[in-house]
Structure 1
Amino acid sequence: MSRLPAVKVLVTRPKQQTARFAEQLALAGADPIEVPLLTFRTRNDERNQLLSQQADRFNWLFFSSRNGVKHFQSVVNHYSHLDNWRHCRIAAVGQKTANAIEEILDRKADLVPEAYTADDLADAFAATHHAASRILLVQGSLSRPALANGLRQNDYAFEKMVVYDTVEEQTNQTLLNDVLEYEKPEVLTFTSPSSIEAFFGFIRSSCMKHTQLDKLCLVIGPTTERAAKRHGFHNILVPDVFTAEAMIDTLVHFYEQRTGD
């Protein structure tokens, strides 16, 4: 049974993640419109080649996203072998990342904080592990600095390994403008500040940009919420748990309240 009215929902997630989110929205009763604004590219460069071959320098791997796990596997397999990293313990931000570690690396995360934020992972690690830990922090090009800052503040030695780049899906600029003009989605969804930047960067008309600000803006968490507010959105929904599934539940709850169900 549908939980949502057939509202048109714009799905802007990176193209590697769009289909699953759109499918979940459709199952809930919405009419999803897929326009990926970003994509991910594995970063194979000299630094990552060197780090991939220096597993013995580290005893902890820190992952802040599923993408980090996926692209770490790709980079290491390209230059070395995952078996070289078996001795390292693993910390993960959130259960989704922990699940990815199990699925992709065939390992279980050793540390997963209860809250799904990088700040909580840094605090949880500092409470139980000494400063002699040698950490490789695996991230994307646009990852927030919170985890690195938290480790730095607690005097941990670590290196960062940027295993993927987030880039704009320029080929979808015309598609986005056509969708906004002719299909007129009622709900806009964003899962990162960079997706909001791409959204407004792709829109050609200043009038069209202004029109979007009155729409319902569904975001994945507080960082994206702050970006939405900076751009002028004022009808913003944010879930208590920072997952795509929780976004849909929040949207369902919003429409249930409107209809009195």
Structure 2
Amino acid sequence: MPEHGPLLGETVIFTGTLKTLEVFDLVRQYGGVPVSIPLIQVNEIVEQTDEAKMKRCSTFDWLIFTSQNAVKAFHSKMGRFAISASEIPSKIAAVGTQTAAALEKIGFTVEFIPTVFSADVFVKQFKPTEGELNVLFLKGTLAGSIIREELPFNVEEWTVYETGAKRDSIDSLVDLLKNKENCNVLFASPSAVQVFKEDAVPIVGWEGYTIGAIGHITEKALLEAGATVDVKPEIYTLKELVISLSKRKDEFR
């Protein structure tokens, strides 16, 4: 453990499902203690129609992925039906560099990423020149309707994973916030905010710890829930959120 650093003496709590331990290492490099207490759980949706839907993917001009969870579920289906990335000639769009990296890891080439990693910016910037297009949006159960409603193309949706509350984590989170000083709670989705609001806030409230949001959609959910958002990075990744948190703490030392 470093003897100095902007996060020295700080406990950094991640409330989402972590895809990599890179952010844990980063917190430790800054002198902090990382803790994973996910408030949501994600599972692939498996249906009898999956094989037929997988085979149809090659007929779409573009496939759109807005999360690593969608990539993971899609990859699972590729393996189940022995379909490789080379058999899907569709162009690929990803919301976020981490989602793009996950796609490239399984063999796809990502041809479009918006400058801000959110669906509302994606629909404004995604303007292929091919004309009339058929696109497939690979999504989760909590995804909004903005991509389907605001893209000027024929948009089909395939819900490949479900997100649910993980309430068995609440006691551990509440204990930390009640008994430890210098806690920081990082939110990566509105769904995690909702669970925290319903199960933790009645006990610990919204004060006494630093709150971080990965982007403006999660920030909006926090503000509507009554929280004050202390940290939000310009680039919407957990790594940048940790970096922004470290800068804030450094300023106040």
Aligned positions, number? 250
For 1:83 and 1:244, locate their aligned partners in 2 and report how far apart those are by CA, in whole Å: 27
For 1:225 and 1:20, locate their aligned partners in 2 and report how far apart those are by CA, in whole Å: 23
Q: Which has the higher helix share?
A: 1
For 2:145 and 2:207, locate their aligned partners in 1 and report how far apart those are by CA, in whole Å: 28
| Matched residue, 2:105 | 103
Which residue type is aligned with residue 253 of structure 1?
K
Which residue type is aligned with residue 209 of structure 1?
V
Report the alpha carbon displacement of residue 49 of structure 1 after superposing the two structures with TM.
3.9
- Structure 2 runs not aligned, ≥5 long: none
| Matched residue, 2:8 | 5
Structure 2 residue 188 is the aligned partner of structure 1 residue 187: no
| Matched residue, 2:251 | 257
For 1:23 and 1:83, locate their aligned partners in 2 and report how far apart those are by CA, in whole Å: 31
More moved, 246-255 vs 72-81: 72-81
TM-score by length of 2: 0.88
TM-score by length of 1: 0.85
> CA-to-partner distance for each residue in 1:105-154, whole Å, 9 max, x for gaps?
x12112223332323333333352312x1111111112233322321xx2
* Alignment CA distance shift 1:35-1:125 (3 Å): closer
Report the alpha carbon displacement of residue 172 of structure 1 after superposing the two structures with TM.
1.9
Report the alpha carbon displacement of residue 167 of structure 1 after superposing the two structures with TM.
1.5
RMSD of aligned Cα (Å): 2.3
> CA-to-partner distance for each residue in 1:172-223, whole Å, 9 max, x for gaps?
23322332333355211111111111123333x83x232x334221110111
More moved, 118-127 vs 31-40: 118-127
Please list, as runs of the form range in 1=range in 2, the aligned pairs for 1:198-213 lying within 5 A after superposition.
198-203=195-200, 206=202, 208-210=203-205, 212-213=206-207
| Matched residue, 1:172 | 169
Identical amino acids, percent of aligned pairs: 23
Which residue type is aligned with residue 232 of structure 1?
G
| Matched residue, 2:77 | 75
* Alignment CA distance shift 1:94-1:177 (3 Å): closer
For 1:236 and 1:55, locate their aligned partners in 2 and report how far apart those are by CA, in whole Å: 42
Of 225, 232, 236, 1:231 maps to: 225
| Matched residue, 2:124 | 123
Deviation >6 Å, runs of 4+: none
Q: Is the 8 A contact 1:65 1:93 kept in 2?
A: yes
* Alignment CA distance shift 1:56-1:101 (3 Å): closer
